[in-house]
Structure 1
């Protein structure tokens, strides 16, 4: 009953006209930011954080959270239509862009939108009812547990890779080598920075994603030299009922995966989308289509991405520890407004 009472109290504050306007503003700005490659919610929230001085606490947090959530969906638009992803929409390039090449851009965007809604709804329920207990469980993870989680990530490569398994493992090892660049968090020593200060924080995943997907696609098109006729077919947005029934199971699976991985420090949407995609390739009824423009390939990762973004609030709201850089800015917003994000 305490949970229901707290929910009613929260809705009474959130569902005012002013706060609904802040919510709409934040989601709109976040979606527009997500459309721009290289600009994400971290930079946007950093720039808009001073505006919270003139806004009440509830409205400021609703607006900033809306920017974060909107950017998670907006990221998928550029990934699906142009194969230029953000960090949280790398997997959307695989099947989403293949659907675009087949003239199913509208269907891919609709699938991403509906799946994001499902993932966000499931994660909000988890956040409302299980936040305190899950937040404490998340920080029981030790070094050995995170090592095991990374090994699970390597195993997922075997499901995500569509070609040779050896090539997939080789790419995985290249990623490990790139991830080792930067400052060691325990000793403070620089690793493979070659006395270059801009490598002290490591290689940004956005730069890698743009290089591997965006620039690679642009270079490929420049080298192609062939004449392309414009697509003259009818753009389809709404799925048929059989297609819609394929979205739901994949979105629910992605919601569960994202809700779980979102609470882990250092996890979040990036890990969740890969895990959900690997799970779909293993258990989906249409797994043989995934990787070639499948609805499931878009739905599962979109739901996991959005669910992980929402449950990343659980460590912050339960024990006051941010799990990523965006949550650290949200904590700064709490401090600016003189509030405590965690239970006291």
Structure 2
């Protein structure tokens, strides 16, 4: 049984709005920036060995030290983050120690089931061998887009996720490729319906006016990592969702592609340091684009008419959102501590060429583990 209470507070730049690939994966879109204590994870994990061979696990986050079967079937039931089990990547997945950007910590087009703080309730089923793994999850969705409350009416709101993982070796260097698919069902609005209603009423389009039970969002993601030299690795992701219905949980990205490289500091006698550089390009569907161009807002992007960003009363000058990030993590001479300067630049924030840019974001991160 794993139990994680969590304390978090604060808010992102501009309330974590205005950039779809937002610049800090440790911020939430919550109204109250005061620190709050809440339940992050409470789940049961049962592992069934499928053979006598074992490996030794180290003590780690939500991982107990000791022997574990090399081949097993596992059931996980309770409250957790879907990203705990899916879309893993050795080089780009944890904003506490790796890249900060939202669309680098996870596949941007994967609208993964979660409440505002990133957690859900459900079950994950795993079949794992040394060279192959298959995972399936069925989980709850929030009651509203970016909402804090999960919808326990499973018949009308739920999410299914499946992922296949293959480990391989290329010229003696290990690589891993993951293929993910998902289907979300919730009371989402259809972008085209919101635009049509606005045309009839002469008002600004608003997705909250046309939400209906039973709408779906489907998509996929491909995720690869490859060691290219000792302690140096490449990673890449591509992801897509149909973009017909509104973004419900993660961020307003319908297509995304990223590429990056990460190295330790071995070559300059700093083996515990890390350095990483990556680029990511994000886009949205034609339906999503038309909604924003008509003056609509999502929970993260949208300029609307009369804001000064969009000329001609809402004629969006669409462009792909392009982001670059580089960080260096200095290992401090204490147990499990590091300090990481980080720099990001964003071109066409919120998919709008008429916004001034690029946006430059400089950050510094202190991380300590006990």
After TM superposition, the score normalised by the length of structure 1 is 0.23
Larger helix fraction of residues: 1
Larger strand fraction of residues: 2
Relative contact order (C-alpha < 8 Å, sep 6+): which is higher?
A: 1
After TM superposition, the score normalised by the length of structure 2 is 0.22
